[in-house]
Amino acid sequence: MSTARSPVAENGSEVNPFEFLACDSNEQQLWEEVYLRQFPDAQEFGALTLEEQREIVAELQEEVDLLEEETTVFLRHAESLRMPRVPNALLGSPTNRRKSISTLLLSEPLPQAPEDSTLSENLVATSGELGGEAIALSSSSVRRGQAYSRKSVDANEMYVTLEDRVAMLTKERDRLRQQREKDEKEGEHLHELLTATVKEAVGRSKELRLELLQFKREVLNEGSSTASSDDLLRFMAKRYSMQAKYLDKLNVQCAAAERNITQTQQQLRQRHAAGEAFRAIDFEQLRIENQQFNERIERKNLELVELKGTSTRTVQTLNTLMDALNGLTAEQNRLRKDLKNRCEYLARLQREMVSVTSEADAAERKNATIKSQHEAVRVPKIEHYLAQKAEEYELQKAERHWNRKVEIAGGQMRLVQQQIRALARATQPTRRWCKRTGHQMRTPSKSHAKSSPGTGESVTLFADTEGNFEVETQKNVSPVVGGSKALLNMKRKK
């Protein structure tokens, strides 16, 4: 931690070492805050939170960097203040010694010492070393024959006071400012030189490109890269004449510049003879005025930048408001159109409501009339209609069942006829069978129905024309082949 030791007066009361900083300078107050800054001890540091500890460590790191920079400044001043013998003015009281150190530091020229000075060369600049050298010189300069008395050195004199530190840092700041101005001037000169060189190179490159294009156009053939000697000589003569004209032009410009220089020098001599010549103080005054004007220009530029920023923000705000106004105008137009459409729709709905109301009244009157007519007419009940429809459905279903039964009986009949024809073919000769078959096909078979006396079932008999074959069928009963006697007769005949 960088702190300055406060000297103690002879009566034991502390003397304020910052009395010379009583002015309202912010810079001096800043240095006072830097050198008198206090950090917490180990117990207080342990009681802090982790974030506060990190902040204190960061501040302490900044303090260490500042002390390293201060040490570098001390090294430069130690190198510049190295002297073979301390002046007699430093052999007085500590107060006079400190004042003389400050005077010497402020009056010393800016140091140009190298940056790589060693630590052994640094121990010469501190006031403690100066005090030690003063004591040694004073002891060596004591006259012979006088009694030697030991002089005690105060511990406060072994440290560099804040006044000396501020003086060193001020001197270092001036040196850095001068070095920066020098570097800026050198940089401007180098920039101007490089700019002029680049412009000359660009102009020369353009001239070379033009000469190359002119050479290709006037000397070289279009089909090949060869050139004739006459064209080349003609081109060189033309180029020489152009260069001569350019040289004459430059000579004229140089002569005009020399005349201007001569005229300016003559005017300067006339002013000097008349007492109107510029002196160093005039140039200094002009420099000060130029600096003031530059400061005013910078302030005006800053104001101009602020005005530009304000105007830019105003334009942006205006554009935003214009966009909002355009949007609101479009919304207003849309709402007006919507209002107009809704008014038209409302009028149309009102007209429709009037017409619908009239139609509803007419429908109610018609409904009342129809209702009265309906009440006057007597019709069967709906239950009777449903019962009739159900009965009709059952009858249709029974009809479908009986039709299916008839179809099944017809199939059985056709099957029996086939069996009869097969039996006839098997029992009779082929010729006779053919005749009979043809006759049967031409003559329909006889059939008659009879009912059984016992059961009351209906029976149907089928027979051919001669009565030789009979087939008896009953409903819902499988067919029975009758006429067994006829069959026996047929076999006997065979």
Determine the average pLDDT of the residues in 50-71. 84
Q: Count CB neighbours of 181 within 10 A.
A: 10
Length of the chain: 494
Residue 249 has pLDDT above 90, yes or no: yes
Interior angle at CA 156, CA 154 and CA 160, nearest 5: 130
Pairing of strands 446-451, 458-463: antiparallel
Tokens matching residue 390:
């159900």
Cβ atoms 91, 138 nearer than 8 A: yes
Q: How confident is the model at residue 306 (pLDDT cuts 50, 70, 90)?
A: very high
Residue 397 has pLDDT above 90, yes or no: yes
Q: Kindly report, residue by residue over 181-229, the tens digit of the pLDDT.
A: 999 999 999 999 999 999 999 998 998 998 888 888 888 866 666 777 8
Rounded to whole angstroms, the Cα distance separating 64 from 1 reads 8
Q: Kindly report, residue by residue over 113-143, the tens digit of the pLDDT.
A: 334 333 334 433 343 444 444 333 344 444 4
What does DSSP assign to residue 10?
A: T
Place of tokens 């003397």: 15
Instruction: For the chain, give the mean pLDDT.
Output: 73
**How much of the chain, in percent, has pLDDT values that exceed 70?**
61
Strand partners, 447: 462
pLDDT at 294: 93
Rounded to whole angstroms, the Cα distance separating 489 from 485 reads 6
Rounded to whole angstroms, the Cα distance separating 246 from 211 reads 14
Burial class of 161 by CB neighbour count within 10 A (0 to 12, 13 to 18, 19+): buried
Determine the average pLDDT of the residues in 402-420. 91
What does DSSP assign to residue 9?
A: -
pLDDT at 113: 39
Instruction: List C-alpha distances in Å: 305 to 33, 295, 310, 314, 475.
Output: 35, 15, 8, 14, 125
Place of tokens 């203040």: 81
Listed in sequence order, the residues at least 6 apart from 286 whose beta carbon sits closer than 8 Å to its beta carbon are 278
Determine the average pLDDT of the residues in 47-56. 85
Rounded to whole angstroms, the Cα distance separating 91 from 267 reads 59
Of the two residues 449 and 391, the one the predictor is more confident about is: 391
Q: Which of the listed ranges 231-235, 307-311, 429-433 does the model predict with the highest average pLDDT?
A: 307-311
Determine the average pLDDT of the residues in 324-344. 95
Interior angle at CA 467, CA 444 and CA 445, nearest 5: 15
Tokens matching residue 40:
């917490």
Which secondary structure element, helix H or strand E, spans residue 479, and what is its range?
none
Instruction: List C-alpha distances in Å: 273 to 90, 264, 265, 277.
Output: 51, 14, 12, 8
pLDDT at 387: 87
Q: Order of strands across the sheet with 458-463?
A: 446-451, 458-463, 470-474, 480-482
Asked which of 58-62, 89-93, 134-138, 382-386 is least confident by mean pLDDT, the reply is 134-138
pLDDT at 96: 46
